[in-house]
Structure 1
Amino acid sequence: MSVDQATLDAVIASLTTKPAPAPKPHCLARCGERLDPMLVTDPATGAGWHIGCEPAAQPEQPVPPADLFTVVTGPAATGKTRAMDRFVDAITAPPPPTLDDLRALLYDHEANSARSRQKKIGPSEIGVPCQRALAYKLAGTPEQPDLRLPWAPIQGTAVHAYIADALTAHNEILGRERWIVEQKVWPDDTISGSGDAYDTDTGTVIDWKLVGDSSITKYRKEMRPEYRVQAHLYGLGHERAGRDVLWVRVVCLSRSWDYGKSWEWTEPYDPEIAQKALDRLYATEALLTDLDVANNPAMWGAIPATPTKDCRYCRFFRPNTPADDTGCPGNPDPWA
């Protein structure tokens, strides 16, 4: 076998040619310091990074949720319709006020509550001093709309529910029913109401009122007539249910942070107070019929009224107009 001269020269050249030297290790930061071969990350070029020379890691950019914007392409992708503009707006603008949403929610919830929908007069309204206001309630006269959130009644409802839970739990601890809680009672065959509590140990009817400190100061001088009558009506209801009623009590719970400012009013149970209130109620009902106010609105002025500086709080207050089937002018000088 013979080998031509060209093949022989190529074999000799391959045996005698030195391999190309490996690339010199160097730092990509061009710091000028020698780079340890162990730190080379690209063997083909000898490049790598000194510890401390490597660039800081860049944080990943957040990917906007798909539902925060709509990708728009073409001519429409301008101005505030661009995806990034909408995303920036979404993450920089605060959400709508929760207070406003909560106000509307609570207002609607309270308007649809059983208490707000109640049309029939109850023990809490029978003792109102003004007979004309009582007559308006009996006649079903539309009340002056109040667009304010009934925040105080809402708080009262919450406190009543909490106390009811606490008394029920105490009964379980005692293993007996000391407290009769939220019991529906009937002062007569047509009037009913839910009594807050009855203490079987002391024969005491209890009604909770969540009030401001100024009201407590006022009630210390004279208990509000509506509250007093209401307590005795509940007492009559418990008595008709076969319970021994000795005392009636209105517990005025302070709406402030200090429970110690709370105060309670107590007096012996007197069924005559409750009966007189019922008699007045039915006499007012008869007066509405006798005066035929449904067909003679002007006769509302013949129903006795008790104007006071508190007339402005009455839901039937219609100032500067004669009393009729829409309301009453009340005290012409509410600040007198």
Structure 2
Amino acid sequence: MSAADVLAVLNGQPPTPTDDGTCHGLREDATLWPEIRGIIETSIVSAPRSRQREIGPSELGTDCLRCLAAKLAGWKQDKGAAWLPFIGTCVHERFERTFTGLNKQGFDPDMRNRRFEIEKRVTVGSIHGLAGGYDVQGSIDLYDRHNAATADWKIVGATTMKTVKAHGPSQTYLCQASLYGIGLTREEERVEHMCIYFLPRNGLTLKDALPVQMRFDPKPGMWALTRAQLLVTFMDLIEQSDGADVRDAWIRTLPKSTGHCFDCGTWANDRDPVIPETAKPRTEVPERWTRLTPLLESRYPQSENTEQHNS
């Protein structure tokens, strides 16, 4: 702090701010931040959503065949502490309290008497392979029983908002909403509408939100489940015939998303070695296996199904 700043403080004036908005003599090195950051990131990666290993409804609709196959094959994935999804998780938790409080209070052993169910766990189908199988399960952000509608909160940035306005929800979102409806019908619940509410991550008010409402359609979800099962069958066939190395090599030949995929580049099996000289020769994929690839669809043949699309 300069002598002029000292005199200014003694005269009851604030220190002179610098060009970057800070004040001389007040800013220190952020030595406390590493520990605080570590606590936050550990909390993020330890959350149940981050630890999920089996594939869920939010992943089945991707147009990235390579990442879908990698997930189904159980490749190790390292995403680190994902900050933007964590923001969405915090919003979800707040909404959970909000809508739960709107239900009539008191003892109610039958959930079917409640209008709102929050984070309702549903089984949307199953995937089976030679090594076993599992149910595909997910949690619906909000089920409005009175209106027979599912609702999914998407906390998104300006780019996603612009894309949705121009082209509608991505097939990933469409398949996810469809699968949730399938899960409810398996429980004999009524489903008529699928709602995806795109909420602005950077907006000042919900005037910038984009609500999308569609008629419930099970076809996108069934397409996604069928495609995943077909992928598992192909991978089992390759592994049983030529081993896991050839299966993994085949996965690396599958087409990536034509847009942006958050999973690309996060797979340990898909990375080049740190020391190239220690790398094993690339495994060749026999032609009979590459002929399977055209049988897999990256894109769902989407039909016009939107009831309401307000900006």
TM-score, shorter chain, exceeding 0.5: yes
* Distance change >3 Å, CA 98–CA 220, structure 1 → 2: farther
Q: Which amino acid aligns with 2:258?
A: T
Kindly indicate whether the alpha-carbon contact (under 8 Å) linking 1:133 and 1:305 is maintained by their aligned counterparts in 2: no
Which of 201, 205, 210 is the aligned partner of 2:155? 210
TM-score relative to the length of structure 1: 0.62
The answer to whether the aligner puts 1:194 opposite 2:139 as a matched pair is yes
The residue type equivalent to 1:133 in the other structure is: C
Equivalent AA in structure 2 for residue 300 of structure 1: I
Alignment of 1:1-336 (within 5 A): 97-143=31-77, 145-147=78-80, 149-172=81-104, 177-189=114-126, 190-222=135-167, 223-256=169-202, 257-292=204-239, 294-296=244-246, 297-301=248-252, 304-310=254-260, 314=264, 315-316=266-267, 318=271
Alpha-carbon distance in structure 1 between the residues aligned to 2:214 and 2:49: 28
The whole-number CA distance in structure 2 between the counterparts of 1:271 and 1:246 is 11
What CA distance in whole angstroms lies between the structure 2 residues aligned with 1:205 and 1:279?
Answer: 22
Aligned residues: 231
Q: Is the 8 A contact 1:135 1:284 kept in 2?
A: yes
Distance across 1 between alignment mates of 2:101 and 2:145 = 16
Larger RCO (alpha carbons 8 Å, 6+ apart): 2
- Shifted more, 215-224 versus 235-244: the winner is 215-224
Deviation at 1:185, TM superposition (A): 0.4
- Counterpart CA distance in 1 for 2:272 and 2:27 is 46
C-alpha deviation, 1:116, in angstroms: 1.2
Structure number, greater radius of gyration: 1
- 1:226-251 residue CA offsets vs partner (Å, 9 max, x unmatched): 11100100010011111110011111
What is the CA distance between 1:306 and its match in structure 2?
Answer: 3.7
TM-score (norm 2): 0.67
> Partner amino acid for 2:70?
Y
Percent of residue pairs bearing the same amino acid type:
27
Change (3 A) 1:301 1:246: same
| Code of the aligned partner of 2:72 | L
Going by fraction, where is strand more abundant, 1 or 2?
2
Cα distance, 1:271 vs structure 2: 1.3
Cα RMSD for the two superposed structures: 3.0
